[in-house]
Structure 1
Amino acid sequence: MGIRFCKDGNLCEIVIEEYDETILMQMKEEEERKKKLEKLSSPPPTRTNKDEAATRIQAWWRGTLVRRTLLHAALRAWIIQSWWRLTLVRLLEKRRRRVLDYYAQQEWAVVQLQSWVRMWLVRRCYCRLLNAARIIQTYWRWHNCHTRGFLQGSYELTATQLELELEIFLGSQICRITDCIPFPIKN
């Protein structure tokens, strides 16, 4: 930063250049060192209006630089915070998705297991009922056979014929069959 004055003492031109913070700090430290050396070697200077105006301008400019630097730092911090929040949201979404998938997989396994157990129980019940039906059918068929009719008979076998005598009892009725069946004899 430079200030130039005209020959008549009025302010003519202010040259402002933007520097990096570290360069500004180095320049400030050098100025302070020079001022200390000047104070030690020379008597205190008298202040004029020009010096006071220059000091005010320099103070204003330094304040502007500090505010600009703070603004840049705040913007950078805001950008980093925004990025970090977005990263956290993505991580949480991935974790939520993994937990949901794991839960769905467990639910599917439980449903399959329950399905198999229910199938096994129903099949076991069905087999018991089927066995009971077979037992009932067997007893019913035996009962029907014995109550419908009773067969009793005798036979006599000779060399030339078969004599049959059968009696069939059907409830209250009796049927008698007597028959002689001759054998064909070959000579």
Structure 2
Amino acid sequence: MTVHLGIGIVSIVAFSFFFPCNLMIVWTIATKRRLRKLWAYVIIFHTAILDVGYILPILTTGLMSLLGIELPKSIVVGSYYIMTAFPATQAALNLSLAVNRMIIFMDLRRVNKAAVYCVLLAFSWMAGVVWIVLTALIKANFRFDLVKHTLLMMPVNSQENRYQSQLNTAKMYLTMFCFGTAFFCYLITIYAIFRKVRVVNCRNLGY
């Protein structure tokens, strides 16, 4: 009972803090034209929208843990779909922000920034949508495990279970690729920063 209360309270507190914060970010960027012209803020805007959507399943699972009941099936299924699509989209958005930092600090002026960012943002959301569609094709039952406090998807047979396993493996590889590429971009960015600092120091010393 204590675990139920703890998880429920923590989830609701997290929702009460992060949901308004992300809404504030979305509203601020959406209403400030000068911010909408900067691609870094555009990417942050999309990330905040994603976080607004992701925090909703945290609220529903927290309520189910706190009350010790399972909410209507549509809410359980919807929450599971959102949570299963989040990692791929989040990883792709992180990659978008990493590319943005790299382009800025490497001073790549000849790069068509609008095209690069539009492709990355479109890919980010498409990754999540595709995962929801592919997950929806699996014949399965959904429920909230009140013991483990987690949403479960239970395929109806071994074939569907194998398909789900393959889908999860593909999502893992996609996420690893995005984070790995983002890490490489950040390494290049750090190198560019150190190079700029060295140039400034050399000028100050009169070299």
Q: TM-score range by the shorter chain?
A: under 0.3
Higher RCO structure, 1 or 2 (CA under 8 Å, sep 6+): 2
Give TM-score scaled by structure 2 length. 0.26
Higher helix share: 2
Give TM-score scaled by structure 1 length. 0.28
Higher strand share: 1
Larger radius of gyration: 1
